[in-house]
Chains A and B, each alone.
Chain A
């Protein structure tokens, strides 16, 4: 069974701190790993990673994938209260023409002022 595990499940930090969120996976047919930010409702897309060792960066957020060790990390530097959200990791594991995503449970990040 395809599995995505995120850690920690919950994290509370102060503004300005740097955080690292972890995602490990076991899937039979890996295509890509995606990070989403979920605030009130729909997950919003952050990054898609397909190759090992190449860092994707967007402002204070960055992410990298290790396909040998089957994990990814999402880093957020100089956190702000607006970064408070649930961060979801998902793996694209296509099967039979479908591009199904397998989600982890998410990491709930709370950034206090």
Chain B
């Protein structure tokens, strides 16, 4: 069964450092998403990406965040200068244009120390 692949599974970084979280969505999917889940809290939408541009972003997705699809298969989330509160599980997801539902990746646990 096709799956969304995320790397790394766990990343520890120092506050102020830049991190890049990587995702390989399902190949025929057209919509791509990043969500995050702070420990013990709900899954929160960060950004959606379609046709090589951001289609929607939440208030969380400020200037420290950026997304890119550099080569037609990878989809990356960059956090420029990490803060302690960026520690969370980050999920990538992709969907076909008409759904149904998403396929989530297994997540990257980001720990900022």
A108 to B75, CA, bound (A): 31
Contacts of B104 in A (CB 8 A): 36, 42-44
B107 touches A103 (CB 8 A): no
Contact assessment for A98 and B55 in the assembled complex, using a CB-CB cutoff below 8 Å: yes
Give CA–CA (A44, B103) in the complex, Å. Answer: 8
> Does the CB pair A41–B56 fall under 8 Å?
no
Is A68 engaged at the interface, CB distance under 8 Å to the other chain? no
B50: min CB distance to chain A, Å: 6
Known: A99-B31, A99-B95. A45 touches B44 (CB 8 A): no
CB within 8 Å of B: which A26-50 residues: 32, 34, 36, 41-45, 48
Considering the complex, which residues of chain A in the window 63-113 have a beta carbon less than 8 Å from any beta carbon of chain B?
88, 90, 92, 95-106
CB distance from B102 to the nearest CB of A (A): 7
Query: How many Å from the CB of A89 to the closest CB on chain B?
Result: 10
Q: Given A97-B50, A98-B50, A41 and B89 touching (CB < 8 A)? A: yes
Chain B interface residue count, Cβ-Cβ cutoff 8 angstroms:
24
Chain B residues with CB under 8 A of A102: 45
Q: Separation in Å of the B96 CB from the closest CB of chain A?
A: 10
Is residue B82 within 8 Å, beta carbon to beta carbon, of the partner chain? no
A100 neighbours in B (Cβ, 8 Å): 33, 45, 48, 56
**A88: chain B residues within 8 A (beta carbon):** 42-43
Whether, in the assembled complex, B101 has its beta carbon less than 8 Å from a beta carbon of chain A, the answer is yes
Interchain CA distance A98-B105 in the complex, whole Å: 19
Q: Which residues of A are found within 8 Å of B43, using beta-carbon distances?
A: 43, 88, 90, 101, 103, 106
Within 8 A of A (CB), among B23-48: 31, 33, 35, 41-45, 48
Q: Which of B44-98 contact A (CB under 8 A)?
A: 44-45, 48, 50, 55-56, 89, 91, 95
**A101 to B44, alpha carbons, bound, how many Å?**
9
By CB atoms of chain A within 10 A, which of B31, B41, B99 has the most? Answer: B99
Q: Which 8 A/B pairs are nearest by Cβ-Cβ distance?
A: A98-B56, A98-B48, A98-B55, A42-B104, A103-B43, A105-B42, A48-B100, A42-B106
